[in-house]
Amino acid sequence: MSTDLLFTITPGEETWTIVGPTPDSPPHGVPSPLTDLGFLRQVRELRDYSSMKFTPDDKRNIRLYEDVARELSSRITPLLLSEEARQAVRIRLNQVQLGRARLTLRVADHGPLSDQVLALPWEVVAPDPSEFPVRQSVLEVVRESIVPGAPELSEPSGPFAVAVAVAAPEGQVALSYEKEEVRLQTVLAGLGHAVAFSDLGTLDDLV
């Protein structure tokens, strides 16, 4: 798997050092956003809205959701992208003949901050304001945590497979499992994937 745009983040308690979109790019230093209460509040708001289900008619909440995403995008983008990196990412996004761009976020040392860094909603990074390349399907975000001595992944021996568990959320009496299965089957079939369901809910039944 080729790495299109690689950003290596070295987080500290007070400042972060970011190198990207190539290993030869000059370091980009920024204050740690994990100490910014306003930034963390916006992250929580985005996660809250992301967990909600909106109908097409719920225009007010959809607008609020997009406003929160735009505000957070305007703060998280300059964290990752220096002006030079912003221009490089913009150029790559415009090279549509190369296919969807891949932005890899790598934390070089699996320390106590690495999980917090990778958990941030980097999907709202946008080199151009008010545009979301991930939502437009021109960019995908990959997260990596480099651990010394970790074994390399072997080459896949078969097609990519995803196991999905459909369960009723806590506090909900019942869930229409059949409808959820139909939704999954409809989406995945459109991508050319075969779908198999486990009626017993066990690994042995699935494989």
Distance CA(176)–CA(44), nearest Å, equals: 29
Q: How high is the pLDDT of residue 206?
A: 60
Q: Average pLDDT of 32-46?
A: 94
What is the rounded average pLDDT for all residues in the chain?
A: 85
| Closest-CA residue to 121 (of 46, 65, 13) | 46
Give start and end residues of each alpha helix (H) in 95-193.
Answer: 114-119, 177-190
For residue range 145-176, list pLDDT tens digits in order.
877 776 777 787 877 776 766 666 676 666 67
Q: Average pLDDT of 182-190?
A: 78
Q: How high is the pLDDT of residue 203?
A: 64
Q: How high is the pLDDT of residue 89?
A: 94
* pLDDT of 202 over the 70 cut: no
Relative to beta strand 5-11, strand 28-31 is: unpaired
Q: How high is the pLDDT of residue 93?
A: 92
pLDDT band at 79 (very low <50, low <70, confident <90, very high): very high
Q: How high is the pLDDT of residue 1?
A: 41
Span of 22-36, 96-110, 189-203 with lowest mean pLDDT: 189-203
46-to-10, 35, 67, 127 alpha-carbon distances in Å: 25, 18, 10, 19
Query: Residue 179 is encoded by which pair of tokens?
Result: 């409808």
